[in-house]
Structure 1
Amino acid sequence: MRRTRWAGALRTPVGAGAAAVLFLVIVLAIAAPMLWSQQAETVDTSHILQGVSGDHWAGTDNLGRDIFFRVLVATRFSVELALAATLLGVVVGLALGTAPLLLGKRAGRFVIAVVDIAVAFPGLLLALFFAVIFGVGTKGAVLAIGFAVAPGFARLTHTLAAGVSGLDYVAAARIAGAGRFRVMARHVLPNIAEPLIVNATIGAGGALLAFAGLSFLGLGVQPPAYDWGRLLGDGLSGLYLHPAAALAPAIAVVIAGLAFNLFGETAAKALGHPSPGQRILARRKEVVADEPAAAEPDAPVLVVEDLRVSFPGPNGPIEPVRGVGFTVGRGETVGVVGESGSGKSLTALAVARLVEEPGHVQAGRVDFLGRSLLGDERALRSLLGTSFAMVFQDPSSSFNPTRRIGNQLAEVARFHQGMNRTDAFTRAVDRLRAVRLPAAQRRAKQLPHEFSGGMRQRAMIGMGLMGKPALIVADEPTTALDVTVQRQVLRLLCDVRDSDDVAILLISHDISVINQMCARVLVMYAGRIVEDLPTTALSAARHPYTRALLAAVPDLETDRDEPLAVIPGRPPEPANPPPGCAFAPRCPLADARCSEEAPPLLADDDGRRVACWHAGEEVPVDTETVGAGESR
């Protein structure tokens, strides 16, 4: 496939022309010094400053040396210097552009601020500035141009890396325990390699022009060495009498610069999905990772108390999750339901330690398998990577598109269980079979785009089973799947739960799915749990919001001639929650107390919890407004 793309790109007029000219430049850079160095260095004082002739195609210089041969011989030095400056700029640019991901948000913001200031200045002005700092000469010019190229490359790297780092497969790698450098090398850089390679190729042409400019100004290559810029400067003094002396090196600079630029455009068409530019070997562990301490058989798998997630806002902190608390027992399936923006997914991400700055997570208690998740993230990697599984909402973004499915699953076993490459891949194939993926051996060697949506979701569940999970958090696992595939995925989760006694926290908008899958349901609204009850008691839900969600699900008895009922109004904005009960502006039972005082989440004699001043009261028939059209 890759060869086909390259062949197609090189058949175009631009691609063929750029490749031919660049090939000629490279051949000249290699062969010219070996073939014509003597002619280029021969001094002939009897033919000083001669014009174009049959013996001297571009005339001679002030020592009678043949300018045409000097231009050919200077090809190697000019190209070498341009490539050296480009390489320096790429390395420095990658380091600066990935600083927010490698150093953290605070240090990264400072680095990017410096980069933004540097990008505001023209590249040649930066090159002149750095040339003054590093001094006149070849070494100083290479450093000057390299550091002048770096800000633009850093800005591109930062923009591309920021877009990729927020995708689900990167979050999956982090929860699997991969460190920052490993995530960058394996999951971020390979997916932004194409524009970076193209930019570097085009940047080589720009560096060549910049280097010629510094040498022309006398800041670059110094005599007796020479490059195209130096030859151009030497020929400028006799421009009116002897224009060929300046024209020949100028043409060489333009042709070589165009060759690099046009070949970069050709590479953009040909690369498609790039492979990693370099492979970073996985960190091998001599011993298998320590198993997490076993919790008591009857102890909850997950305990959350007073969980809060906040983000900075213009008028103070914004809390999309406010005081959430719940438990999940071993082998229990707990559903979380609510409208969009109610805080369901953010609660799960906070528990999994996947909320990054500027987000701030606080909690009275978050215990997983008897161990607090509020401690150092590095110390928790083994526990989260082997016993805590995440199934993200969008299967298309849950996998790295440049790496084969089997290798991505195997990474968990290699990193946390000390397996070698072969054993880890075998384990990955076994897990794909466990989630009933057909032809698992062959499928493990395929890329994510070769999978259907349902197959990707199965593979995502298989990734969670690479360790020995005690809890699977499934965040909208059936979104964008057809009804048949939804049923298969949900049945698969049930089979995993029953066979390995795995607890499941299932997040969904669809309360009917929760009713079928779960033993207990948490109803969230405006960042809080408003009701916690068994699914067998849903028909007797006490909170008006829960009853509205239930009424929103059409069934065979729904009158198709009547419009679906909806909850009036919209959910409150997290930045501006209403005083009192957040549901009060939309609740038909609300009174003055509801608008002034927030009800606490209290448990009744049956262990059901509800946060409502009018829990269990019937809504008058003439004012009842049920349904959740906005929640679906």
Structure 2
Amino acid sequence: MSIIRDVDHDTVATSPATRRPRSADRWLAVLRTPVGLSAGLLLAVVLVLAVVSPLIWDHSANAVDTDNILSGPSGKHWVGTDNLGRDIFYRVLVATRLSVGLSLLATLIAVVLGLILGTLPLLTGRVIGQLITAGINIAVAFPGLLLALFFAVIFGIGIKGAVLAIGVAGAPAFARLTQTLAAGIAERDYVAAARIAGIGRLRLLVRHILPNIGEPLIVNATIGAGGALLAFAGLSFLGLGVQPPSYDWGALLQNGLTGIYIHPAGALAPGVAVVIVGLAFNLFGEAVAKGIGLTATVGRVPLRPIAESRRRPTPAAVEADPTPGDVVLQVENLTVTLPGATGPLVPVRSVSFTVHRAETVGIVGESGSGKSLTAMAIAQLIEEPGQVTADRLSFLGTDLLSGSGRDHRHLLGRSFAMVFQDPMTSFNPTWRIGRQLAEVAAQHQRMTRAESMTRAVERLRAVRVPGAERRARQYPHEFSGGMRQRAMIGMGLMNDPALIIADEPTTALDVTVQRQVLQLMAQIRDENGVALVLISHDVAVVRQVCDRVLVMYAGRIVEDLRASDLSSSARHPYTRALVAAVPDMDVDLDQPLSVIPGRPIDPAQHPTGCAYAARCPLASERCATDDPELVTDVDGGRVACWHAGEPMPHHWQQIVTDREAVAAGEVS
């Protein structure tokens, strides 16, 4: 095996011009904008007044002067006095602490309750999660102030009741936001990788999901504080909030209304304070949202918990795998069912294959053929309401369709690795690369922090990442595409796996880096005896590195053959069409490239008979009515075709030259 040499763009970090700014830099950038700076300064002044005003002006605010009852603005009393002669200006300043403090406390309650409610569907079962989501949706449908009034009556009149009422009334909005953000993060590949590694739901939530949704929650909490301030002033104005002798801006506003026709400044001053401070919270929140590139939105997408694989009803469960010792993975009649608008969809149908130790098996097919779903089902990453059934799903002699889910996670975490298509989404952007690799060893090998970091550096070095110690301290955005893919492979090697499933590992990489990644994976297979399943739509890549190839079409395997036979001995018309569609050095540059006419079938409209019949030049009447079985030939290969190996007609390679037809979707 030749030594891998890295190209320049893979040995250096991303340039400062393209590097993603760190969190502190993004927050500082907010204060450099005119709106952010002005709102930030105003908010800072308000917070300072909230702290120092009662200490400095409390006596002046409570001093009774019966000689100046309801007096107008003057040099001595800037905005006049109230019905006991107390200075309204000082009272407005002193009320800042209670008004802002209680509003922030109510916002904190709303955020905490919203986080709990929004993340519960991730931790509970499907039924409980749906009930929680339905309750949140119902609560969000009601206006916030109406909910606050409702809860104020329940919790009672006074400061405690008002704080609880506003906090509970604001929780549904934060819960909805948390659900939406968590659902987006939970779909990332690094979360799926953590699940494969055996990370529990609570730890997955705390360490991988919440850190990535913190900033938008802070933005919405800042904006929500302005709304809480207004709601609290409204409750106090109605007599449901702060009670005498305490006072806030809402209470001052209510008192000022008694003499509004004689002394309008008494009601105007606390009203202006509410507007200014509420505006400061909202403007600062909007500035932060724009500064860090986030949008404060509320959505409806709940995340459903991970589904357990289900066994088809059989007379008795298989307790042990009787297959030979070199069998790593055995799959029999694997089927994946998903819900659809018009009924259940079956994107993977009766897939059966076996992978042996140190063997490389390629899975090829067009997009939508079921390649990735097959891998996800094996890794037990199909979410409810999707269902996985099989007659056998055995990994290293362990039946994954029965037994403890915890034991399965431990087995998969130690001996199974999955390399996803996009390495940028495969890593948690808030964690350093070394820490993410170290978590795998710490979880399954009970290593200390230092030991796991040492192993992480060793694995980065093993996959030819230059400067491994320095790279381990960097974030994913500081790696180039090829380096991220190598680091992802290194993560898969943290526990010496017996099987690696690589799902389109070379997508979006240039040909030089692609070659290096493929050589690296072949070297790992040869040195460690690891079984490798390579999923790809690129027949040339599979032919280069695989021992055996599974060709999938419409959710099932249509041919199983040696990789060396792809070009010369393929028997299924679809396999031969895939090979013909790959250009080589001998292609006629004056002629259009070969394509497969038509388009793949829609899983919701599966035809009777052979799924490839509508596109096949050998199709007969039998193909339109009878679906061929996958049968084994004399050479040990398998093929599902009524006309397997028959000579193709002279005109079988249809050439599409009309680009308008391609753009209109008339051909695939």
TM bin (shorter chain): over 0.9
Q: Where does the alignment leave 5 or more consecutive residues of structure 2 unmatched?
A: 1-21, 295-319, 657-661
1:517 equivalent in structure 2: 545
AA in 1 matched with 2:70: L
Given the two structures, how large is their TM-score scaled by the length of structure 2? 0.88
1:467 equivalent in structure 2: 495
What's the offset of the Cα at 1:570?
1.1
1:217 equivalent in structure 2: 238
Equivalent in 202, 210, 219 of residue 223 of structure 2: 202
AA in 2 matched with 1:387: S
- Are residues 1:574 and 2:603 paired? yes
AA in 1 matched with 2:136: V
1:331 equivalent in structure 2: 358
Equivalent in 608, 612, 616 of residue 583 of structure 1: 612
How well do the aligned residues superpose, as a CA RMSD in angstroms? 2.1
- Are residues 1:45 and 2:72 paired? no
AA in 2 matched with 1:559: D
Give the alignment of 1:51-130 within 5 angstroms: 51-130=72-151
What's the offset of the Cα at 1:513?
1.1
Contact 1:15/1:263 (<8 A) preserved:
yes
1:442 equivalent in structure 2: 470
Give the alignment of 1:265-280 within 5 angstroms: 265-271=286-292
Give the alignment of 1:475-554 within 5 angstroms: 475-538=503-566, 539-554=568-583
Deviations along 1:348-392, whole A, 9 cap, x unmatched? Answer: 000001110121111111000000112343221111111100000
Contact 1:102/1:180 (<8 A) preserved:
yes
Give the alignment of 1:48-447 within 5 angstroms: 48-271=69-292, 298-375=325-402, 376-447=404-475
- Counterpart CA distance in 1 for 2:267 and 2:179 is 40
AA in 2 matched with 1:239: I
2:631 equivalent in structure 1: 602
1:276 equivalent in structure 2: none
What's the offset of the Cα at 1:510?
1.0
What's the offset of the Cα at 1:161?
1.5
Judging changes above 3 Å, is the alpha-carbon distance between structure 1 residues 624 and 31 closer, same or farther for their aligned structure 2 residues? closer
Contact 2:330/2:354 (<8 A) preserved:
yes
Contact 2:421/2:507 (<8 A) preserved:
yes
- Counterpart CA distance in 1 for 2:578 and 2:29 is 55
What's the offset of the Cα at 1:112?
2.0
- Counterpart CA distance in 1 for 2:212 and 2:63 is 52
Deviations along 1:425-449, whole A, 9 cap, x unmatched? Answer: 1111110000000111111111111
Q: Percent identity?
A: 67
What's the offset of the Cα at 1:66?
1.9
What's the offset of the Cα at 1:178?
1.1
Counterpart of 1:310 in 2: which secondary structure? strand
What's the offset of the Cα at 1:12?
2.8
What's the offset of the Cα at 1:537?
2.3
1:557 equivalent in structure 2: 586
Judging changes above 3 Å, is the alpha-carbon distance between structure 1 residues 237 and 243 closer, same or farther for their aligned structure 2 residues? same
Contact 1:338/1:509 (<8 A) preserved:
yes
Contact 2:595/2:653 (<8 A) preserved:
no
Given the two structures, how large is their TM-score scaled by the length of structure 1? 0.93
Contact 1:194/1:272 (<8 A) preserved:
no
Deviations along 1:503-557, whole A, 9 cap, x unmatched? Answer: 0000011111111111111010000001111112221111111111111111122
Contact 2:592/2:655 (<8 A) preserved:
no
Deviations along 1:96-115, whole A, 9 cap, x unmatched? Answer: 22233222443223222222
Deviates more, 1:517-526 or 1:18-27: 18-27
Deviations along 1:17-65, whole A, 9 cap, x unmatched? Answer: 2122111111111111111222222223333222222222222222222
- Are residues 1:15 and 2:43 paired? no
Deviates more, 1:494-503 or 1:240-249: 240-249
- Counterpart CA distance in 2 for 1:295 and 1:552 is 41
Counterpart of 1:92 in 2: which secondary structure? helix
